[in-house]
Amino acid sequence: MTTPRDFIARLRLVAQRLVGPAADTPADAMRWMTCSQAQDFRAARSAVALRAGTSVAEVEHAVNAGELVRSWPMRGTLHLVAAEDLAWMLSLNRDSMLRVRRRRHEELDIGQRDIAHATEVAVAALQGGGRLDRAGLFALWQQHGIATDGQRGIHLVQALALDAVIVLGPMSGKQQCFVLFDEWIPLSRKLTREQAVAEWAGRYFRSHGPATVADFRWWSGLLQRDLSPVWDEVRATLAEVTARDTTYFLDPATLDAWDALSAATQRPLLTPAFDEILLGYADRSPTLPPSAAGQVVPGGNGVFRPVLIDGGRAVATWQKPAKDVGDVSVSPLGGPLTARATRALPGLTRRYPFA
């Protein structure tokens, strides 16, 4: 029997394209998801590959082609986004994120002159197609008398990224390089603030629903006063389901797909660290039992381990096989794995897009 909580969890698999038809390309997968947390870049590439049915090499090709970029559009955390969307995302959250960082900038003795100097040096080095990885950029700043020790460097990087001066673009070996925003992203979508909020909300509920308004506000970092002016417009495009006296919003197409895909949502699957199936919600309890949260996010430190999903629920954390030989190793969350999950592991290991 499907419980209300299981129904919510399994519908989220459909919305997030972890079951059913894959996106046509990695860029299309990212446009659908809108943002994917990406401080662990290897995990983020795998997350996109899962939703596009491709290899991580194809995701990396999309990064090198400028279709996907990485920056700090929300929650003060690195995310992978479609290149044309980044500018309007930054415009929504830039000021609030800079306010949050003001005290830390004071502690690090970072003022506007420091940011202006760092900008001048970075632009001079990168203009005309220049590329620098993090170590190279920090070394350049040091040469020009800009200290990068004690987290000063990463906070200067974030300040320039929030100002849309630089962005993480192409790969150089295993490192992603900083490039000039306007050179690497020549075409950005232009939206008013209300249009941007409506766009973000609509895309969130389509790709993450069923979800609550509280889920969206936590995920996006936007306030109720940002959402209120456009909520009636967004809500009119969505379906609603209620579980345990909580109202969830989702794309009507997700509900329409349930009959065809409900069986597929029962199948086990591996998801990478920091995957949106957990990180995309303030309330993760439909997928992750609260009693097991400490095993997935040890110490509540914000570092999400990869999980095995079975029947829509997180049932184990997992680790990559040593030297890519053999099956993944799993640590069950609570009780033993189902026979279905145990049988599925070899096939899941073979199909998983390891970075």
Element (H, E) at 330: strand 329-332
| 240 bridge partner residues | 249
pLDDT at 355: 74
pLDDT in tens, 19-68: 999 999 999 999 999 999 999 999 999 999 999 999 999 999 999 999 99
For residue 71, pLDDT beyond 60:
yes
Preceding omega of 272 cis (within 30 degrees of 0): no
- Percent of the chain exceeding pLDDT 70 equals 99
1 pLDDT higher than 50: no
> Domain 4-8+190-260 classified CATH 1.10.10.10?
yes
The two beta strands, 269-271 and 307-310, are: antiparallel
**What is the predicted pLDDT for the residue at 2?**
63
Helix or strand run (H / E) with residue 11: helix 4-15
Instruction: Give the confidence band of 97 by pLDDT, cuts at 50, 70, 90.
Output: confident
* pLDDT mean over 67-94: 95
Q: What are the pLDDT digits (tens) for 161-174?
A: 999 999 999 999 99
List CB contacts of 55: < 8 A, sequence separation 6 or more: 49, 353
pLDDT, tens digit (0-9, with 9 covering 90-100), for 240-299: 999 988 999 999 999 999 999 999 999 999 999 999 999 999 999 999 999 999 999 998
Q: Residue 199's pLDDT is what?
A: 97
Exposed, middle or buried by CB within 10 Å (0-12, 13-18, 19+), for 186?
Answer: exposed
Domain ranges of the chain: 4-8+190-260, 33-184, 266-351
pLDDT (tens digit per residue) in 102-158: 899 999 999 999 999 999 999 999 999 999 999 999 999 999 999 999 899 999 999
Flag whether pLDDT at 233 surpasses 90: yes
